[in-house]
Amino acid sequence: MTFATCDLCDANEDKLATGEIAVLPPVFKAFGAVEKFSGQVSTLKLFEDNGMVRTILDAPGNGRVLVIDGGGSLRCALLGGNLGVLAQKNGWAGVIVHGCIRDVAEINACQIGVRALAVMPVRSIKRGGGEHDVRVSIEGVAINAGDWIYADIDGVLVSPQALD
C-alpha cells in the first residue's frame, strides 16, 4: 500500500473541512503485524458480547475492514488471538475495535491491522447479540457499512468513497 494518512488529509482538506471525510480521534492503539491497512467497511454494533464477531470474521473478508462499535467498554475484550487468526485466514484487512482486545502476542503475529482502545484479559460473553452493517458512531465519528477506512501509524481516516 502506498497511501499515507497525512498525505490523504493534505490532498482532501476541503472534504475534511466539510466533514465528508473524518479522522478518528487519536485514542486507538495499534496491534497486528500489518501497520498500514485500508478497505471497505463492514460494521458491528454490540456491547460486551463478541459472539457475532466470530460469525462475521468467519465469512470472506475480501480485503474489508471490520469496525466494531463496542460502546467503548473497557470491561472485557471483543477480539482475541483466535479471532485474529480467523480474520487473517479469511482475508480481512483489519479490525477496529471501539473497546478492548486480548491475546496481544497472538494478534501481533497475525497479518492484519488492528486498532483498539486498550487491552483487557477478560473475555466477553458470547450470546451472539448485536447489529451488523448498521451506522455506528465511534468517538463521535459516524461510520457506515461501505465506507472506506485508511489506517497507518499517523491515524485512521473514514471516507464514504475510495481515496486516491
For 68, the domain range is: 5-159
Residue 1 clears pLDDT 80, i.e. is over it: no
Q: Is residue 97 included in any domain, yes or no?
A: yes
On the CB side of 121, how many CA atoms lie within 13 Å of its CA?
1
Q: Is residue 51 included in any domain, yes or no?
A: yes
Tell how far CA 32 is from the center of its chain.
Answer: 12
Q: Is residue 164 included in any domain, yes or no?
A: no
Is the CB of residue 98 less than 8 Å from the CB of residue 68?
Answer: yes
pLDDT, residue 32, reads: 98
Q: What cell numbers appear for 70 in the block?
A: 463496542
On the CB side of 54, how many CA atoms lie within 13 Å of its CA?
13
Question: From CA 99, how far away is CA 119, in angstroms rounded?
Answer: 9
How confident is the model over 38-60, as pLDDT tens digits? 999 999 999 999 999 999 999 99
161, amino acid identity? Q
Q: Beta strand pairing status for 37-45 and 65-69?
A: parallel
Residue 61's CATH number:
3.50.30.40
Query: What is the number of domains present in the chain?
Result: 1
Mean pLDDT of 61-83: 98
Q: Is residue 146 included in any domain, yes or no?
A: yes
Q: Is residue 33 included in any domain, yes or no?
A: yes
How confident is the model over 90-141, as pLDDT tens digits? 999 999 999 999 999 999 999 999 999 999 999 999 898 899 999 999 999 9
For the entire predicted model, the pTM comes to: 0.97
Q: Is residue 133 included in any domain, yes or no?
A: yes
